[in-house]
Amino acid sequence: MLDLAQGTRLDPRMMQTSKPMRPAARIRHTLRNLLRPAAALMLAALVLPLPASAQSSRAQLAEVAEALRKYTDIRTAKAEGWKAFGGDEPLMGQHFYPPNGPDYVAGDKLDFSRPNNLMYTEIDGRMVLTGAAFVVRLGPDDPLPDGFAGRADRWHVHDFQKAIDAATEDRPVLGGIANWWLDRTYYSKGDNRARLAMVHAWVTMPNPDGPFADFNRLLAYRKLGLPDSWASGASIESARGLVLAQEGGCERRLEGDFWIANIKGQQKRRILTGCEQVAAKIRADLPGTKARVNARAAEGHAVFERFLAKELTADQKRRIAAMAEHGDHGNHADHAGHGQAGAHAHH
């Protein structure tokens, strides 16, 4: 039964008595009139422009890419005062920060034309721009940033204070200097935002895991001169194994762990020797075939990680774990679910 109290209009033709409509025809006709306005509204929703607040992550990534065009040559970034921190990290590259911000903090809206990290890595003897990153400083109880539109961006967090405390447990002078700087720069001003939330934006080279992935597996293949297609369908373990096979790969893989846990002497040499032995076996299969290389690389990665786990003390593992609150993690749909897949080592 139609509810006329809702303002539904009757078609005048339905009220003509000279040629009454059959009941079935009357129902069909009435339904068409009822549905026509709804269809019009749906069509309008499809053609009307979206508000600026609904800007897509694709458009935001395009804005980042446009901002990065000028930095394709690393000399431009250096001329503007961008400074390197950390090393050429596996599956990421070396991070650079600008001389004058921006200093994003919790609650800030990101300016996608102003990333505060650039990433470069060496491929075939030259530094290649791999992408950008946005870093947002958070307080102890601040949630992860909203960041890009939608739910695809992936944030990881470094607790700067925890990392410093872990790295300087047996370096009191260094710890005193680091904590003095933190107090002078932030804490003494009432700023306790020492957790660094970071999201990568891979806009200058493809990433088989998407533009917001924490790592880029493709880098491992390009550094060894292997086809890009070999990264397709391969695992992160294969990529990590290929990192070891690169020139200086073991040093890059381990430098963050060595630094924060203050690993040195015989233990350091023993770990590096074990890594080089695994790396040599992976290199022995190069160039080989896609399936064999990926399988041997994944196997080598697993062998080395088991070896490393046996070499490290429980205390060293605890200190290394303080480098990041979490590595790879779920998207915005579940910011609480984090599966460790190898912490970053920005040191």
Answer whether residue 31 shows pLDDT above 80.
no
pLDDT in tens, 237-292: 999 999 999 999 999 999 999 999 999 999 999 999 999 999 999 999 999 999 99
- Collapsed DSSP state (helix, strand, coil) of residue 197: strand
pLDDT at 55 (0 to 100): 64
DSSP 329: B
pLDDT at 8 (0 to 100): 36
Using a pLDDT cut of 90, give the percent of the chain over it: 72
Measured distance CA(253)–CA(90) in Å, rounded: 6
Residue 176: how many CB atoms within 10 A of its CB?
Answer: 11
> Which of 238-241's residues contact partners 24+ apart within 8 Å by CB, and which partners?
238/293, 238/294, 238/295, 238/297, 238/298, 238/301, 239/91, 239/215, 239/297, 240/90, 240/91, 240/297, 240/301, 240/342, 241/278, 241/282, 241/296, 241/297, 241/298, 241/299, 241/300, 241/301, 241/304
Average predicted confidence (pLDDT) for the chain: 83
Residue 312: how many CB atoms within 10 A of its CB?
Answer: 18
**Closest alpha carbon to 74 in 126, 5, 32:** 126
Residues 6 or more apart whose Cβ sits within 8 Å of residue 67: 112, 113, 114, 115, 132
Measured distance CA(133)–CA(126) in Å, rounded: 21
Distances from the Cα of 330 to the Cα of 148, 269, 337, 339, angstroms: 15, 36, 6, 8
pLDDT in tens, 65-92: 999 999 999 999 999 999 998 889 999 9
Region 294-303: what's the mean pLDDT? Answer: 98
